Chain A
Amino acid sequence: MTGFQTRATQALSVVLLVLGVVLIARTIQSGVGGGLGLLIGGMLVLAGGARLYLSQR
């Protein structure tokens, strides 16, 4: 991967992480019926975190 690709991948990973955290926070704030928000938020956090970890290894 070129330097630009690596930086772009890391930026996207951070976006995914932040999006996931925001989604989880919003879901908890909204209360009832938010099971899907927790699930999708968790998936985004895991995907972003794992990608970031692999790109820095």
Chain B
Amino acid sequence: MPRRRRQEQGLERVLGAPGLFAAVYGNVGSSIYYALGLTAVFALGLTPLVFVIAGIVFAATAMTYAEGTVRYPEAGGSSSFARHAFNELASFGAAWAQMLNYIITIAISAFFVPHYLSIFWEPLRGNPWDIIGGAVVIVILVLLNIVGIQESARVNIVLAAVDFATQVLLVILGFFLVFSPHVLTANVHFGTAPTYSQFFLAIPIAMLAYTGIETVSNLAEEARDPARNVPRAYLMTAIAVFAIYFTLPSIALSAMPVHLVNGHYETVLGLPPPKGFTNDPVLGVVENLGISGQLLSVLKIYVGILAATILFIATNAGVIGASRITYAMSSYRQLPSVFRRVHPRFKTPYVSIIFFAGLLSILALLSGKTSFLGTLYSFGAVLSFTIAHAAVAMLRVKTPDEELVFRGRPNIRIRGVSVPLFSIFGGICTALAWIVIVVKDANVRWAGLGWLAIGAVVYWVYRRRVVHAPLTQTVRAPVIVLGASLEIEYRKIVAPVVRTPESEEALVAAARLAAERGATIAIVAVVEVPLELSIDADLAEEEERADELLDEARALVEAYGVRTVTRIKRARRAHTAIVEEAVQRGAELVVLGAQRQRARHGASVFGTTVDHVLRDSPCRVLIATGRVAA
């Protein structure tokens, strides 16, 4: 059994809904360790309500990302949606905003690692040791990523489960020990503490809690069945996130109520150290649960180590994300090709890792201010979300008759267009959130708008002076050619499979080629949906067969030591799905098997699927026909 063999070897890389969920929750779940304190700085007693409001916007955003990602299961998230819906300039804007998010995710996650390790050494809770500690974390991860570490999916799943279980445990303990509806209502002095201005600024800051929603989009390339796995992964994430974010803030504000001190309302949850817990809010919850003695010490050490580990992994996810998006941007000629350069020995994009994930993150970290980092993150995130909402809505308008394998809800039909209400609602909310940040926070206004201005200048100069292409035109960087022999570097190969000897032969040819060049093979099984059925019809039997075929094909290819991703695609015709996959992955080669047919005048030699792929493929096509007896 190929599937069992893979699992025994610990090489499971098939990303189903639970795998995707674990990867996302590892990221989204990590933000509670800083978002809770940061939001409380502004929202005070209304912190629980602010998280609920931000959660509703998150639900709309998750729906938008689910539809966009199923439609285009490729790395890039909002940048990819914007390319399809608008043009390359819009795609660049979204990607540049995302880049800011990754840089700040790295900075803020690394910055909070020392805060939670302060259980061992108190000075790590504040400046300058948290800055130094954070910088050390970033340097370590940059070096590890240049050398090329492999993240273990299994470790991530276990950590996400432990993290979620711990957060649930804290909520349960809190409900029994400190939860008080009376305290929660007494905490609120709306108009004074928080002021209306603080309240409206707190909402976009609370969206910081939903850091990492783009992760599913970036991993969707490796999902076998995006149409089923991606929406489920988003749903699971939303449920888990709501379970924590709708409850833990109430526990925190019950444990650390708002008091009037020297004429000002404050909660220790939103105060800086040494008195407050804005730098380590979850440790603040533990410390104020009403437990004491040995149990408190053990719980603090456990939560401290867990939080530091989760934040360390979230920092690493940011480093990987930053290098991936830079690589993608330079592949689309949005950034100079120097950022696409890979290390001669380690084969990793070391220039982009050092510059964006290393230097810029450490630069952001040097401010040493959690609220600045948090608000700057929200600035980039809500801009990126707004573009994603707009793109998904525009795609519905541009192609109103397109059959969607997954369609977000709710919708309303206007003049033949199914208008996505979730995108409209989400887009309005995130756009307003962005305006509030720009209007209310001076430091972020200068830093965030400065970042956008720098990006616009770099893009304009590079496009006009180097690429000599219009700003709105999509241009792919040429395939890297090695040496004088003009040997093409095949980094991505698409291999469609069916259950025939020729297909198996093609797969072996692709595997040998990929093993020589260190390439990745995307193995594709197409489920052809008859015209009389809707594109999302239940075809469980066909999908099960495709699943088995992919398992066998993967086992065969991995025997050559080649990295694979597998994909089930639904389409009316196999060739459209194959060509679409080659385009989406930016493949340099399609390898497919075909039976030789007796040549008749004007008739197809290999069959219509191969003919169409040959005609429409964006890259080279290699056909394996099987041997003919001598």
- Contact digits for B396-412, partner A, Cβ 8 Å, 1 yes 0 no: 01100000000000000
Is B445 within 8 A of A12, CB to CB? yes
Q: Please report the C-alpha to C-alpha distance between residue A36 and residue B442 in the assembled complex, in whole angstroms.
A: 25
Determine whether B493 belongs to the interface, using a CB cutoff of 8 Å to chain A: no
Instruction: Report the minimum CB–CB distance from B97 to chain A (whole Å).
Output: 11
The one of B87, B439, B449 in contact with A33, judged by C-beta atoms closer than 8 angstroms, is B87
Q: A12-B445, A12-B449 are in contact. Are A36 and B394 (CB under 8 A)?
A: yes
User: Is there contact, CB below 8 Å, between A36 and B390?
Assistant: yes
Interface residues of B in 370-388 (CB under 8 A from A): 386-387
User: Smallest CB–CB gap between A49 and chain B, Å?
Assistant: 9
Given A36-B387, A36-B390, A36-B394: A46 and B87 interface contact (C-beta under 8 Å): no
Q: Is B301 an interface residue (CB 8 A)?
A: no
Q: Chain A residues with Cβ under 8 A from B86's Cβ? A: 33, 35-36
If the complex has contacts A39-B431, A43-B431, are A51 and B438 also in contact, measured as CB distance less than 8 A?
A: yes
* Given A12-B445, A36-B387, A39-B427; A54-B90 close (CB under 8 Å): no
Q: Please determine whether B435 and A50 come into contact, CB atoms closer than 8 angstroms.
A: yes
Chain B residues near A21 (CB-CB < 8 A): none
Which residue, of A5, A46, A54, has the highest number of chain B Cβ atoms within 10 A? A46
> Is A39 a contact of B442 with CB atoms below 8 Å?
no
Could you tell me if B445 and A50 are in contact, using CB atoms closer than 8 angstroms? no
Closest chain A CB from B425 CB (angstroms): 14
B-contact bits for A36-54, CB 8 A (1 contact / 0 none): 1001101100110011001
Any chain A CB within 8 A of the CB of B434? yes
Query: Please, which residues of chain A bring their CB within 8 A of the CB of B351?
Result: none
Q: How far is the CA of A54 from the CA of B201 in the complex (A)?
A: 15
Q: How far is the CB of A17 from chain B (nearest CB, A)?
A: 12
Closest B residue to A52 by CB, please name it.
Answer: B439
Binary contact track B63-91/A, C-beta < 8 Å → 1, others 0: 00000000000000000001001110010
Residue in B397, B427, B435, B446 with the greatest tally of chain A CB atoms within 10 Å: B435
Residues of A within 8 A of B435 (CB): 43, 46-47, 50
Give the interface size bracket for A toward B.
10 to 19
A35 in contact with B438 (CB, 8 Å): no
Chain B: residues with Cβ within 8 Å of the partner, total of 24
Q: Which residue of A9, A35, A42, A43 is within 8 Å of B442 (Cβ)?
A: A9
Q: How distant is the Cα of A35 from the Cα of B438 in the complex, in angstroms? A: 22
In the complex formed, the residue of B with least CB distance to A39 is: B390
| A51 contacts B82, C-beta separation under 8 Å | no
Chain B residues, Cβ within 8 Å of A16? 438, 449
**Docked CA distance A12–B446 (Å):** 9
A55 to B394, CA, bound (A): 36
Assuming A36-B82, A36-B90, A36-B394, is B439 touching A43 (CB within 8 A)?
A: no
Bound form: Cα–Cα A11–B434 in Å: 20
**0/1 per residue, A1-39, Cβ < 8 Å to B?**
000010001001000100000000000000001011001
Closest to B442 in A: A9
Residues of B contacting A5 with CB < 8 Å?
Answer: 442
A-side contacts of B394, CB under 8 Å: 33, 35-36
Task: Give the chain A neighbours of B85 by CB distance below 8 A.
Answer: 36
Q: Compute how far the CA of A50 lies from the CA of B82 in the bound complex, rounded to whole angstroms.
A: 28
Task: Indicate if the CB atoms of B438 and A47 lie closer than 8 Å.
Answer: yes
Chain B nearest CB from A18 CB (Å) reads 13
Of chain B, the residue at the smallest CB distance from A43 is B431
Whole-angstrom CA separation of A35 from B93 in the bound complex? 14
Contact among A33, A39, A50, A54 with B386 in the assembled complex (CB-CB below 8 Å): A39
Q: Mark B16-49, 1 if CB is under 8 A from A, else 0.
A: 0000000000000000000000000000000000
Asked if A54 meets B439 with Cβ closer than 8 Å, knowing A12-B449, A33-B87, A36-B390, the reply is: yes
Residues 549-566 of chain B: 1 if any A CB is under 8 Å from the residue's CB, otherwise 0? 000000000000000000
Nearest CB in chain A: distance from B71 CB, A: 17
Residues of B near A9 (CB, < 8 A) are 442
How many whole Å from B423's CB to the nearest CB in chain A? 11
Q: How far is the CB of B525 from chain A (nearest CB, A)?
A: 35
Chain A residues lying within 8 Å of B390, measured Cβ to Cβ, are 35-36, 39
A47/B87 in contact, CB under 8 A: no
Residue of B nearest to A50 (CB): B439
Bound together, the chains give a CA A34 to CA B93 distance in angstroms of: 14
CB distance from A44 to the nearest CB of B (A): 9
Instruction: Give bound CA distance, A9 to B445, whole Å.
Output: 9
Q: Give B387's nearest chain A residue, CB to CB.
A: A36
Chain B interface residues toward A at CB < 8 A: 82, 85-87, 90, 93, 386-387, 390-391, 393-394, 397-398, 427, 431, 434-435, 438-439, 442, 445-446, 449
Binding site for B on A (CB under 8 A): 5, 9, 12, 16, 33, 35-36, 39-40, 42-43, 46-47, 50-51, 54
A-B pairs with beta carbons under 8 Å apart, 14 shown: A5-B442, A9-B442, A12-B445, A12-B446, A12-B449, A16-B438, A33-B87, A33-B394, A36-B390, A39-B431, A40-B93, A43-B435, A46-B435, A51-B445
Shortest beta-carbon contacts, A-B, top 10: A47-B438, A50-B439, A47-B435, A51-B439, A36-B86, A36-B90, A46-B435, A35-B394, A36-B390, A43-B431
Q: Other than the known A16-B438, A36-B90, A54-B439, what 18 A-B pairs have Cβ atoms closer than 8 Å?
A: A35-B86, A35-B390, A35-B394, A35-B397, A36-B82, A36-B387, A36-B391, A36-B394, A39-B386, A39-B390, A40-B93, A42-B431, A43-B386, A43-B431, A46-B435, A50-B435, A51-B438, A51-B445
